[in-house]
Amino acid sequence: MKKNSFGKIVNISSVGGGINVFPGFNIADGMSKAAIAFMTKQMAAESIYDKVEIFAVCPGATDTDMFRASTLDSLTETQKAELTHSLPKEELINPDQIADVVRFLCTDEAKILHGAVIDASNGLGVNPSALYKRRES
């Protein structure tokens, strides 16, 4: 990319670790996501004069096979509904929404965001306690 003076690197992290911490979540998982966010910023800092843009996207609860297998499949329908209700916007993120963010980051307009670690969590990253407060009420 440096040789060709062009490139886009978009790392995918997670709101848990990449943006904020969530008590009770897996420490190793959070640490790996924090490492991706740090790596993104470090790589971006080291390449500010290159024509390569580097970003990270940190999704929240997204309706993917992985999220279903790790979280949803073990829940009853009532528990799934309660979890969804506790999320900001009361919905899982559609994977196409994350793809749209990544697609934008691959445009020339996004170059001013070089080094950004983007919270794509419907607001969970700015207020993670909302998840717990909604569950308690």
CB atoms within 10 A of CB 6: 11
CATH code for position 120:
3.40.50.720
Q: pLDDT by residue (tens digit) across 23-74?
A: 778 899 899 999 999 999 999 999 999 999 999 999 999 999 999 998 899 9
For residue 56, give the H/E element and its range: strand 52-59
- Look at residue 103 and tell me whether its pLDDT is greater than 90: yes
- Look at residue 5 and tell me whether its pLDDT is greater than 90: no
% of the chain beyond a pLDDT of 70: 96
Give how many domains the chain has, as a whole number: 1
List beta partners, residue 53.
Answer: 8
The answer to whether the beta carbons of residues 11 and 56 sit under 8 Å apart is: yes
Phi/psi of residue 93, each to 5°?
Answer: -80, 135
Is residue 112 assigned to a domain? Answer: yes
DSSP letters spanning 75-133: S-HHHHHHHHHHSGGGSPBPHHHHHHHHHHHTSGGGGGGTT-EEEESTTTTT-THHHHH
Looking at every residue in the chain, the average pLDDT score rounds to: 91
Is residue 42 assigned to a domain? Answer: yes
- Look at residue 124 and tell me whether its pLDDT is greater than 80: yes
Q: Determine the structural domain holding residue 131 and report its residue range.
A: 7-136
Is residue 1 assigned to a domain? Answer: no
Is residue 87 assigned to a domain? Answer: yes
Is residue 84 assigned to a domain? Answer: yes
Is residue 110 assigned to a domain? Answer: yes
Q: What is the pLDDT of residue 129?
A: 80
Q: How confident is the model at residue 136 (pLDDT cuts 50, 70, 90)?
A: low
Is residue 132 assigned to a domain? Answer: yes
Q: Does the pTM of the predicted model rise above 0.85?
A: yes
